Amino acid sequence: MPARIEPIADRYSAWRLLKEGISGNRGWKQAWRKPEPKARYDVVIIGGGGHGLATAHYLANVHGITNVAVVQKGPIGLGNGGRNTTIVRSNYLLPSNTRFYEYSLKLWEGLEQDLNYNVMVSQRGQLSLFHSDSERDAAVRRGNSMRIQGVDAVLVDGEAVRAMLPFLAMDNPMFPILGGLLQPRGGTARHDAVIWGFARAADRRGVDILEHCEVTGIRRDGGRVVGVETTRGFIGARKVGIAVAGNTSRVAAMAGLRLPVESHLLQAFVSEAIKPLINCVISFGAGHFYISQTDRGGLIFGGDLDGYNSYSQRGNLPLVERLMGVGVSMIPALSRLRVLRQWAGIADMTMDGSPFICRTLIEGLYLNGGWCYGGFKATPASGWCFAYTIAKDEPHPFNADLTIDRFLEGRMIDERGAGPNPWAQ
Amino acid sequence: MLLIPCPYCGARPQDEFHYRGDATVKRPAPDAGLQALYDFVYTRTNPRGWHLEWWHHYAGCRQWVKVERNTLTHEIRTAVGPAEDTPQLSA
Ligand SMILES: Cc1cc2nc3c(=O)[nH]c(=O)nc-3n(C[C@H](O)[C@H](O)[C@H](O)COP(=O)(O)OP(=O)(O)OC[C@H]3O[C@@H](n4cnc5c(N)ncnc54)[C@H](O)[C@@H]3O)c2cc1C
Ligand SMILES: [Zn+2]
């Protein structure tokens, strides 16, 4: 099937914005089609979040596989792709993670040109604070590990933090801020735009995005996948990729797989809009709390999981109280703000806190999941590596370590060393 | 706020408890082999619906209790002592 190359007139550009602006904005076209399912595809991706759509984009754009469908139970982008706090960074300690997330950050840096879509990547810097000598040592170790691998990391002392962010509670008697580890290239991106940008780019290459199409079964013939049962009928496929975040255990169970994963709640909050206050992403070291400011002016923040298995997408109050307490002890001025909105998503927590992108024991079935609460920043590299793994039937070097077999083989990638307790990762 | 009906203390707020995960996994026999040990330590059913789970009442009686809770609605059906079975699911 020939790839659909977008007509020049449909490209987004400053010139186009001007032209549409003076002609009543009547020329914009639908960003992706709403096709009927075909009987068969070369590849079916389950899950129309960022990861599924990015996979389809790279399958079509890099590997020339365009007979692809992304099946999504509701509209695209209402899962974690549309619920996260939009932080992108690559400041990991362990090489398997650093390699992967740094590649992702590099893809973010060129994503707008690749997609012809403004995903509002803003490299405003990500600062992790430390509050004791031992936390400082850990930050130095992490910074060195990053720099050895070619990732940017800067150790910032207390005075410099005070100058950058004068509203922080520097001299909190219990948790004085001694400094921070800054990744200048970290920052944020506009989460919804990432979904829409990948969807539009994949659609341009002929990928069918099938919304309101829930997968209810994975059909096999012997040891091989032959397609998926959906609420819109059976869809045949040579290869099937799973990228359903919080529902990973449930969809994998349709193929008889049992995974080292639990589903947990993660909440996020946004305040009323205020004048520019926070010009980077800050994370507290004395409790789990991170915060940045959106372009609309709201402060967006989050922290720990609620801490028990849940599929409810509904956060609970004890966490809210704890989180607000931590936030106010880092930025006392927060106590004067009103929270406008609060929501929760279902994070697919693994037993070591790291994800997997891999083949499975079933021929033609591929797995992408275990993103915990850090998968937004992974979106481009996850799609890149998953597309590679599906197209070539072997992992890309960047996801070679991210298999589910690692647990059986004793090769955990345990960034936090929290043991096999998904709620503690 | 979850209200957990501790069999020893009565209904208490979740803040008094620590969550300790799936209560249906059982340590295999020492000679059961690597796969059985792997499943015990790592793999979980992770159901969307009723889930039998451990909660440690650390700020109360300090017992571990087994709670049957729905992971979709957060409804709690029963809580029993560590050695007891619940009527609906059994550990
Ligand atoms: C509150 C919150 C804050 C977060 N903050 C950050 C952050 O700051 N930085 C960061 O890097 N990460 C963050 N994350 C994590 C990140 O959002 C996720 O890891 C990432 O979005 C996962 O991407 P995805 O495309 O796999 O998932 P999703 O966007 O959830 O996509 C999965 C899709 O699969 C669909 N699906 C499920 N079951 C089926 C089925 N049976 N049939 C068809 N479709 C199905 C779902 O409807 C969904 O649309 C956060 C997460 C949450 C919840
Ligand atoms: Zn008790």
What's the pLDDT at A1? 45
Judging contacts by C-beta atoms under 8 Å, the chain A residues touching residue B38 are 407-408
* Ligand number with the minimum distance to the CA of B58: 2
- Tell me the average pLDDT of chain B: 93
Q: B89 pLDDT exceeds 80?
A: no
Q: Which pLDDT score, from 0 to 100, does residue A255 have? A: 97
B91 pLDDT band (50/70/90 cuts)?
very low
> Distance (Å) from the C-alpha of residue A247 to the closest C-alpha of chain B?
9
**Size of the A and B interface in Cβ pairs below 8 Å:** 72
Q: What is the mean pLDDT of residues A318-340?
A: 96
Q: Do B34 and A263 touch (CB under 8 A)?
A: no
A19 pLDDT higher than 70:
yes
Cβ count within 10 A of residue A181? 25
Q: Which domains does chain B have, with CATH numbers?
A: 3-80 (3.30.2270.10)
Confidence of residue A120 (pLDDT cuts 50, 70, 90): very high
Q: What is the dihedral of CA A411, A417, A421, B2, to 10 degrees?
A: -160
Q: How confident is the model over A21-47, as a mean pLDDT?
A: 96
Radius of gyration of chain B (CA): 14
Q: What is the mean pLDDT of residues A141-165?
A: 97
Is pLDDT of A66 > 50?
yes
Instruction: Give the tens place of pLDDT for each residue, A226-265.
Output: 999 999 999 999 999 999 999 999 999 999 999 999 999 9
Q: How far apart are CA A211 and CA A213, in angstroms?
A: 5
- Pairwise CA distance, residues A141 & A143, whole Å: 5
Ligand 1 pocket test: which of A195, A372, A376, A377 has the largest number of ligand atoms within 8 Å of its C-beta?
Answer: A376
Q: Which residue, among A244, A264, A311, would best test binding to B if mutated, counting the most B CBs under 10 Å from its CB?
A: A311
Confirm if A104 and A189 have CB atoms less than 8 A apart: no
Q: What pLDDT sits at residue B86?
A: 73
Query: Quick check: B40 contacting A, CB < 8 Å?
Result: no
Judged by its nearest atom, the ligand closest to the C-alpha of residue B10 is: 2
> What are the boundaries of each domain within chain A?
36-89+93-116+191-260+352-424, 126-186+262-349
pTM of the model: 0.96
Strands A233-242 and A365-369, sheet pairing? parallel
pLDDT in the model for residue A7: 58
Determine the residue of chain A that is closest to B46 in CA distance: A262
Buried b (16+ CB within 10 A) or exposed e, A195-233: bbbbbbbbbbbbbbbbbebebeebbbeeeebbbbebeee
Query: What mean pLDDT comes out for the span B60-69?
Result: 97
pLDDT digits (tens, 9 = 90+) for B2-17: 999 999 999 999 999 9
ipTM of the complex: 0.95
Write the CATH number of the domain with boundaries A36-89+93-116+191-260+352-424.
Answer: 3.50.50.60
Closest CA to B14 of A223, A73, A321, A156: A321
Total length of chain B: 91
Q: Same CATH fold, A126-186+262-349 and A36-89+93-116+191-260+352-424?
A: no
What per-residue confidence (pLDDT) applies to A8? 58
Domain A126-186+262-349, classified CATH 1.10.150.120, yes or no: no
